[in-house]
Structure 1
Amino acid sequence: MHPADEDPQRLDPASLHNARTTIVQLLGRAGVPAGSAEELIGLVEAGVLAAAHREAEDSAGTAPAGKGELYESGWLDGARALTDELGSIAARALARAVGAGPAEDSPGAWPPVRRMEVERAKVAVTPLYLSFSTVSDLDPEVSEQVLTAVLGTMSPRQRAGYAGRLTRFAADHRPHLTRLYERYGPGSAITLHGRYSLLHSPTSLAVLERLAASPSALREEWDAAELPPSWLDGLTSSWEPSA
């Protein structure tokens, strides 16, 4: 019997490659470039490895009972070595997916924001925004420019994990955000034109998160993108009371 047929719960490399290629081709027919499709697949793979690492860590701290102290010590050492290696594999997979290199901690060396990173940010921010407000009428092109400035304040790894960061931000500040959108959002008396107009867009949530986390870097990216200063000033003045 061929070794690959002995364990039906494991896929051989050829079958994994076939599945990956199929996904890339199907996404290509939908208009997604091959590079962007590979990036998305790589992020999913890195996420699966990270989840496996967390699960292994949770179960690695307890050795089988009744085996003796020496056995327990060896079992724990082996489990620790295994989970450490799994964590390293997950980290390398993430680095490959986002193209992170040794200059990760140097903002000046970060690569430009890519189209796929903007698309991922849109997917992350829109449902969170809709939990506070209603559909935006702001120009989609302007929204992309805003998200590009927001993502420019982050490293490739941080951009990859931005959906989680936004989710935590929305949960941590939900009462204040609710009041903010009720007062200045689409359902309020504030019009789409003016210093608070960005609160009519899902991108406002992303900007607010950056104002809380990295205001100086955001201001720098905002000015470089030549976005309306009044938009950022309006969000800053409306957000500061929550600090």
Structure 2
Amino acid sequence: MNTADEGRQRLDEASVLNAKSTLLQLLARAGVYTGDAEELIGLVEAGALALAHAEIGDSPREAPQEKGPLYASGWSDGAREAVDALGALAEQALIRAVTAGPSASAPDERSPVRRAEMERAKVAVTPLHLSFSEVSDLDPEVTDQVLGAVLRTMSPRERAGYPGRLAEFAAAHRVRLERLFAAYGPGAPIAVHGRYSLVHSPTSVAVLERLAAAPSALHEEWDAAELPPAWLDGLTAAWGSQA
């Protein structure tokens, strides 16, 4: 094989599977449960396909004009079919990732929250909260309880895309969120107490997003988890005061 061929070489199936198996073994040695690791890797695979599909769909290549209209028409049809096929592969990969494991339900049905889903939610909410406020005043157990109620309002497919939805929510309401945390967060004139505890937690942005997107489902799961009604009422009132 010459240098040019080596530069164009692509990973083959065996090499990809080898890399995945190696990663699973390394994560297992670090104490990551195999099911969680497989789910995370599956989401990365599905995401890579989805991002490639979006990039190709947004930047279509034009057919060579000198080939004539019939060639251009065939080129367009073929390109569209290839993009659609890539999108279908991304969807299949996502379904495999979110339905992995013997206890998993259908991707569009609400189901118990898995450990990997909880950890992904924590990774998503923490930097968002820190962009508005300081470190949480609530303990890890309470954070798990609140995020559990939030995540149970969604299906596995929705949970997979929840970090992106949170980022969009925070971007769309940044000014309002800044006012809320300035008025009720750490260092604000209003001291932290039971009613406004959630404003001091990284879960606050997640709860606010659910209040906007699925209020009935959130109240249902909140009551089922036996979380203090004052927390939800206080955050709702604080949010409303900044409208």
State if a TM-score over 0.5 links the two structures: yes
For 1:137 and 1:35, the matched residues in 2 are separated by 31
Q: What residue is the counterpart of 1:233 in the other structure?
A: 233
Q: Could you tell me how far apart the structure 2 residues matched to 1:77 and 1:176 are?
A: 46
Letter in 1 for 2:90: A
Contact 2:184–2:196 (CA under 8 A) maintained in structure 1: yes
User: What does residue 215 of structure 2 align with?
Assistant: 215
Unaligned runs of 5+ in 1: none
Distance 2:152 2:228 in 1: 17
- Aligned-partner SS, 1:195: helix
Partner deviation per Cα, 1:92-129 (whole Å, 9 max, x = no partner): 00010111899544xxx422111110100000010010
* 1:57 match: 57
Percent of pairs with identical residues: 68
Equivalent residues of 2:24, 2:34 under 8 A apart: yes
Contact 2:138 2:200 in 1 (8 A): yes
| Residue of structure 1 in register with 2:194 after alignment | 194
The alignment covers a number of residue pairs equal to 237
**Corresponding residue for 1:141?**
141
Q: Per-residue deviation at 1:220?
A: 0.4
Q: Report deviation, 1:9.
A: 2.7
> How big is the shift at 1:155?
1.1
Partner in structure 2 of residue 11 of structure 1: 11
Distance 1:182 1:6 in 2: 57
Residues 136-186 of structure 1 deviation map (CA, whole Å, 9 limit, x = unaligned): 121110001100100111111110111111111111101110010011111
Q: Which moved more, 1:96-105 or 1:9-18?
A: 96-105
What TM-score do you get using the length of structure 1 for normalisation?
A: 0.91
Measured in 2, the distance between the counterparts of 1:21 and 1:225 equals 38
RMSD between superposed Cα atoms in Å = 1.9
Runs of 5+ consecutive residues of structure 2 not aligned to the other structure: none
Q: TM-score, normalised by structure 2?
A: 0.91
- Contact 1:60–1:76 (CA<8 Å) still a contact in 2? no
- 1:66 and 2:66 correspond: yes
1:27 deviates by: 1.1
Aligned mates of 2:106, 2:8 — CA distance in 1: 42
